[in-house]
A and B are shown apart, each in its own frame.
Chain A
Amino acid sequence: MTTQDYASRISQTIQQHEDAIGAEWVAQLEAALVRSNIVSREQLRKHCQQFLAAFARATRGGELANMEHRSWDEVRDLLSEISTSRAKGGSSPSETATFVFSLKQPLFTRLNAEFANDPAALAASSWTISSLLDKMGLYTIEVFQRARDQIIVRQQQELLELSTPVVKLWQGILALPLIGTLDSARTQVVMENILQKIVDTGAAIAIIDITGVPTVDTLVAQHLMKTIAAARLMGADCIISGIRPQIAQTIVHLGVNLEDVTTKATLADAFVVALERTGTSVVHKD
């Protein structure tokens, strides 16, 4: 018998027992489905039915060894759809891969019965199906990973947009509370934001508050100095505030030169200096 013959027999077997295979498969998946809140049972059944139907149709094409073939397009599309929805839903990679791999046992049971009299054919067809399902599993994981990566990239962008607010404290005084670690990409956004805001508001003083910056290394310090230098070129003064004791120690140990920059321990202190420089003072009412 040739591979083509196996393929057609396998295909026939799958089509004959489609319902039974489907039922066994769903039962197995449901048994493994401990965290049933992520994927609902109805959705799981629907996915199984759709997939098995598409799978049966694809096997008719006879290209069991080649998943890139046109006849598998539908199966691949369906797999990516299922995998993407699971990635978004928060399933783990192994849970997602199990969807495909758990189809093996019901399929093998049927193949066993079908090829009971022909050990050679059984071995060959088992191997074909096994490697096919493995490929599908890998494909599922790939799509899953891609979907996750997309989510991460999107979140990074959102974080970038959210994390750099420039607030106006007073006429001519801006504040930029920095939260989280500063990397090159963020510094770029921070720099552009604050410089644009300086142009928009005509502010002469900008207070950069680093209370929320967990660590300051030479790179972060360099980024800060660049921002300050750029602001100075535009005619605005910068004050750094919110320097915690540990950070003060780190800055000195690192040998970072902050001599040309006004630094204050708290935002309040920096604000007082800024008010003085703009010729304003705050007095207590008696």
Chain B
Amino acid sequence: MERIPILRMGDLLLVTIQVDMHDRLAMTLQDDLTERIVRDAAKGVLIDISALDLVDSFIGRMISNTAAMARVLDAQTVVVGMQPAVAITLVELGLTLTGVKTALNVEKGMALLGKTNFG
């Protein structure tokens, strides 16, 4: 079955979405990510959605929920690389990802996580 890889970098988990998200893939990612955060005792999660150029309300909510779940599990979450079209869609849908940190790219996202965790 198709899965989105979750990479571990020290205290951080890196999720890069490189394929078109469909609903089942999103649900699997949610399961996998929460599982991994607990298993690896991760302090930060970085979700790179720069390759995602199409979202619907379900995927939008899923991104929002995944970030919220990670936060509940005491891992700072940063969503990075959101495309303009995706950002506009999410705002129009009313999903402004309150409480979730955002950054322009992976590098800046890493810097943001580094500051909150170790700085």
Contact = CB atoms under 8 A, between A and B. Distances in A.
A204 B104 contact: yes
Given A192-B84, A198-B104, A235 B109 contact: yes
A235 B87 CA distance: 10
Interface stretch (A69-77, A80-88, A96-104, A226-234): A226-234
A199 B82 CA distance: 9
A191 B90 CA distance: 13
A229 B96 contact: yes
Contacts of A235: 79-82, 102-105, 108-109
A234 B84 contact: yes
Contacts of B86: 233
A202 interface: yes
A196 B87 CA distance: 11
Contact of B97 (A191, A192, A233): A233
B96 A236 contact: no
B104 A234 contact: yes
A148 to B, nearest CB: 34
Interface in A40-86: none
A232 B102 contact: yes
28 contacts: A191-B88, A192-B84, A195-B84, A195-B88, A198-B84, A198-B104, A199-B83, A199-B84, A202-B105, A203-B104, A204-B108, A229-B91, A229-B96, A231-B87, A232-B96, A232-B102, A233-B86, A233-B87, A233-B90, A233-B91, A233-B97, A234-B83, A234-B87, A234-B104, A235-B81, A235-B102, A235-B103, A235-B104
Interface of A: 191-192, 195-196, 198-199, 202-204, 226, 229-236
B40 to A, nearest CB: 25
Contacts of B79: 233, 235
10 closest A-B pairs by beta carbon, nearest first, are A195-B84, A235-B103, A230-B87, A235-B102, A233-B87, A235-B104, A230-B91, A229-B96, A234-B82, A229-B91
B105 A230 contact: no
Name the interface size band of chain B: 20 to 34
Nearest to A230: B87
A153 to B, nearest CB: 25
B87 A195 contact: yes
B31 to A, nearest CB: 25
A89 B108 CA distance: 56
Contacts of B81: 235
Contact of A233 (B82, B105, B108): B82
B84 A196 contact: yes
A202 B104 contact: yes
A210 B107 CA distance: 32
Given A191-B88, A230-B84, A234-B104, 11 more contacts: A191-B84, A202-B104, A203-B104, A204-B108, A232-B102, A233-B79, A234-B102, A235-B79, A235-B102, A235-B103, A235-B105
Nearest to A192: B84
Contact of A226 (B83, B91, B102, B109): B91
A191 B97 CA distance: 18
B17 to A, nearest CB: 15
